[in-house]
Amino acid sequence: MMKKTNILLVAAFLVVNTFAVPAFALTGDEILAKVEKAMNAPADRTATIKMIIKAKDGTTKERKMKISQKGAQKKLFTFLSPADVKGVGFLVIDDDTLYLYSPAFGKIRRIASHVKNENFMATDFSYNDLSESKYPEKYSAVLDKTDGEHYVLTCKPKPGAKTDYSKLVMRVNKKTYLPSKVEMFNKAGKLFKVMTNGAVKKIDGYWTPTHIKIKDVLRNHTTTMKLVNVKHDQGLADKVFSKRNLKKVH
């Protein structure tokens, strides 16, 4: 009887562990690589963005802009309205090559490394937030747990990596591999910003978040971006992402 009981216990142990493996079959770094791949899956993307900036006192500002993106890094942001920001453009060539154009001055200036952590045009996105897209190059990830439909990762900077954050806590949707929520901690280890991606839709075959919100928890200040007229794989030419094109209102 004892021998039979032991066999049953061993069998039960094997069954439990067999079915427990798939949840942790992927490592944190492997999941993070899938996140990067999902975020940059289209060859290119264009969209119109309605932006709402909400201050601590509840006052809001609305802006409209267009974004064009090619590959993981090339990005062009152009403000369409209101009048005081119309024509302002922000161009990303790669993580280290960023340009800002202001019609009021008629000049293009390169964003210096020491100001990339500053807020872009009074929003809650820093220049780095908008330009960085390759998480695996700068962060190592540990899978902490699975939570319902999500993987929960803790991502810490790799040795020598230049980042604005001491760590990221990322909830990754298991189906889309897009981050549903990212908590960003500053160099002092305090929660600094929280970004959420919502209203995820399949557009042209790609999972796409169409409602992106970032909150500066220290300032109680939020920026929400709603994406409309999203298009993918249009064959955007490299010349779209040029300093000359930066001066045009698209």
- If you average pLDDT over residues 3-20, what whole number do you get? 46
Where residue 211 falls (left for φ over 0; alpha for ψ -120 to 50; beta otherwise) is beta
Report yes or no on whether pTM surpasses 0.75: yes
- 196 has a pLDDT exceeding 70: yes
Look at residue 37 and tell me if it is in a domain: yes
Instruction: Say how many C-beta atoms besides its own lie within 10 A of residue 191's C-beta.
Output: 12
Look at residue 78 and tell me if it is in a domain: yes
pLDDT at 248 (0 to 100): 77
Burial 41-63 (b: 16+ CB within 10 A, else e): bbebbbbebebebbeeeeeeeeb
pLDDT at 38 (0 to 100): 95
Do 79 and 64 meet the contact criterion of CB atoms below 8 Å apart? Answer: yes
Domain count of the chain? 1
Do 22 and 198 meet the contact criterion of CB atoms below 8 Å apart? Answer: no
Distance CA 94, CA 131 (A): 7
Look at residue 49 and tell me if it is in a domain: yes
Do 222 and 211 meet the contact criterion of CB atoms below 8 Å apart? Answer: no
Position 86 confidence tier, pLDDT thresholds 50, 70, 90: very high
pLDDT at 221 (0 to 100): 97
Q: Which residue has the higher pLDDT, 116 or 50?
A: 50
Under 8 Å CB-to-CB from 99, ≥6 apart: which residues?
90, 91, 93, 108, 109, 110, 111, 243, 246
Residue that the structure tokens 């940059």 belong to: 40
Find how far residue 35's CA is from the centre of its chain.
10
Under 8 Å CB-to-CB from 138, ≥6 apart: which residues?
132, 157, 158, 161, 162, 163
Token pair in block for residue 174 = 């298991």
Distance CA 69, CA 205 (A): 17
Do 169 and 194 meet the contact criterion of CB atoms below 8 Å apart? Answer: no
Helix/strand/coil for 107: strand
Domain that holds residue 228: 27-246
**Paired residues of 46 in beta bridges:** 68, 231
Look at residue 208 and tell me if it is in a domain: yes
Per residue in 108-158, pLDDT (tens digit) is 999 998 888 999 999 999 999 988 778 999 999 999 999 889 999 999 999
Look at residue 96 and tell me if it is in a domain: yes
Look at residue 103 and tell me if it is in a domain: yes
Q: How many CA atoms within 13 Å lie on the side-chain side of 188? A: 4
Under 8 Å CB-to-CB from 11, ≥6 apart: which residues?
none
- 170 has a pLDDT exceeding 80: yes
Look at residue 15 and tell me if it is in a domain: no
Q: Which residue has the higher pLDDT, 117 or 95?
A: 117
pLDDT, averaged across the chain: 89
Look at residue 41 and tell me if it is in a domain: yes
CATH number assigned to the domain comprising residue 236: 2.50.20.10
